[in-house]
C-alpha cells in the first residue's frame, strides 16, 4: 500500500501488477474499502496494471472533515493517477465507486479509457424512480443520528459478523474498525462523513452525467436488485449517444456482486476491453 498526498488528503493505493493498460477499481461506500475487489484484481492482474484505491473517508485513506462532493472524490482519483504517471485508465466501480467513476468521466474525460459500472451510476439516489424513499433532509438526519454499534475488540466484531452477516463473513476481518471515545470500536463510518457522502449522492443528477460522455461504458446492473427495469431503461436511453456500450447481467447477481462474483466481473471487463481494441482503438 502507498499513501499519495493529493487534494488536501491522502489516498491509499494498492497495486496488484504493472502489466498492460491501467485498471482502477473503486469500491462502494460505508464499511467497505479496496479489499472488496481482491477476486477481481487477482484475475485482471495477469494482463493489466491493476490499481485499487480507497476513497477519501474510507479504509486507509485520509478522513478530512470536508470535501465529500462526488466531483471532489473524482478529483482525488485523478490527482492520484497523475502522481503515479498514469495518463489514462479503465475504471471499474460499484455503488459509490461507480458514481464517482461516472462523475470522473464526465468532468475529467481525458483520463478515462472506459467505465465499467457495477450496479451503480444508473439511477438517482432520490426522486422519481430513485433508489431510496424520502427526501435528502430526512435521509441525512437519520444518518447523523444513527447510533454506533459497539464492540470490545476486533475479535468480538469478527465473531458478530460471522454469526449475523453471512454475506460478509469471509471478509469480516478486513472491514476497518474505528475507535470510539469510550474505548470500544465500531465498524460504522463516522456519521458526519457518511452524512456528507449521502448528501452528495442526493445532489447529483445521474442521467445528466451521460451528456457528452466520450468513453465506452460497460453496464453491469444486478439481476436480483429492485428497479432493474428502471436501470435498463436508462441504459437504453443513454447508450445511443456513447461511442460504444455493452450490458452484461450476471445470473443471480446482487448489488455487491464482487463479493461472490468478483472473477465473473473481471471476465466481463476483460472481454469488454478486448472488444474496445477493435471498436474503439485509442
Q: What domains appear along the chain, each with residue ranges and CATH number?
A: 2-145+205-279 (3.40.50.1820)
pLDDT in tens, 74-130: 999 999 999 999 999 999 999 999 999 999 999 999 999 999 999 999 999 999 889
Average pLDDT over residues 242-251: 97
Strand, coil or helix: 151: strand
Confidence of residue 282 (pLDDT cuts 50, 70, 90): confident
Using CA atoms, how far apart are residues 36 and 256, in angstroms rounded to an integer? 9
- pLDDT score recorded for residue 74: 98
- pLDDT score recorded for residue 166: 79
Give backbone dihedrals phi and psi of 102, rounded to 5 degrees, phi first: -65, -45
Residue 90: DSSP 8-state: E
pTM of the model: 0.96
Percent of the chain with pLDDT over 90: 91
- pLDDT score recorded for residue 167: 78
Range with lowest mean pLDDT among 66-80, 157-171, 223-237: 157-171
Confidence of residue 214 (pLDDT cuts 50, 70, 90): very high
178, pLDDT greater than 80: yes
Give backbone dihedrals phi and psi of 47, rounded to 5 degrees, phi first: -130, -5
Instruction: For residue 51, give Cα distances in angstroms to 29, 99, 119, 280.
Output: 18, 18, 20, 23
Amino acid at each position: 500500500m502507498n499513501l499519495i498526498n493529493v487534494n488536501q488528503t491522502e489516498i491509499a493505493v494498492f497495486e496488484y501488477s504493472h502489466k498492460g493498460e491501467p485498471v482502477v477499481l473503486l469500491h462502494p461506500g460505508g464499511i467497505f474499502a479496496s479489499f472488496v475487489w481482491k477476486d477481481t484484481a487477482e484475475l485482471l492482474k495477469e494482463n493489466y496494471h491493476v490499481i485499487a484505491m480507497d476513497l477519501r473517508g474510507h479504509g486507509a485513506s485520509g478522513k478530512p472533515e470536508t470535501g465529500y462532493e462526488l466531483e471532489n472524490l473524482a478529483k482525488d482519483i485523478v490527482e492520484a493517477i497523475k502522481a503515479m504517471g498514469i495518463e489514462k485508465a479503465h475504471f471499474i466501480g460499484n455503488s459509490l465507486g461507480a458514481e464517482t467513476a461516472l462523475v470522473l468521466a464526465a468532468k475529467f474525460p481525458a483520463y478515462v479509457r472506459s467505465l465499467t459500472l457495477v450496479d451503480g451510476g444508473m439511477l438517482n439516489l432520490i426522486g422519481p424512480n430513485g433508489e431510496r424513499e424520502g427526501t435528502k433532509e430526512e435521509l441525512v438526519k437519520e444518518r447523523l443520528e444513527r447510533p454506533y454499534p459497539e464492540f470490545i475488540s476486533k475479535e468480538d466484531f469478527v465473531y458478530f459478523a460471522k454469526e449475523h452477516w453471512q454475506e460478509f463473513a469471509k471478509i469480516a476481518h478486513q472491514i476497518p474498525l474505528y475507535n470510539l471515545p469510550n474505548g470500544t470500536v465500531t465498524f460504522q463510518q463516522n456519521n458526519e462523513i457518511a452524512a456528507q457522502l449521502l448528501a452528495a449522492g442526493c445532489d447529483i443528477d445521474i442521467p445528466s452525467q451521460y451528456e457528452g460522455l466520450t468513453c465506452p461504458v460497460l453496464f453491469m446492473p444486478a439481476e436480483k436488485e429492485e428497479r432493474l427495469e428502471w436501470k435498463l431503461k436508462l441504459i437504453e436511453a443513454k447508450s445511443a449517444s456513447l461511442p460504444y456500450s455493452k450490458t452484461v447481467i450476471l445470473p443471480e447477481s446482487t448489488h455487491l456482486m464482487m463479493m461472490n462474483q468478483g472473477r465473473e466481473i473481471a471476465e466481463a471487463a476483460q472481454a469488454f476491453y478486448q472488444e474496445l481494441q477493435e471498436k474503439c482503438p485509442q
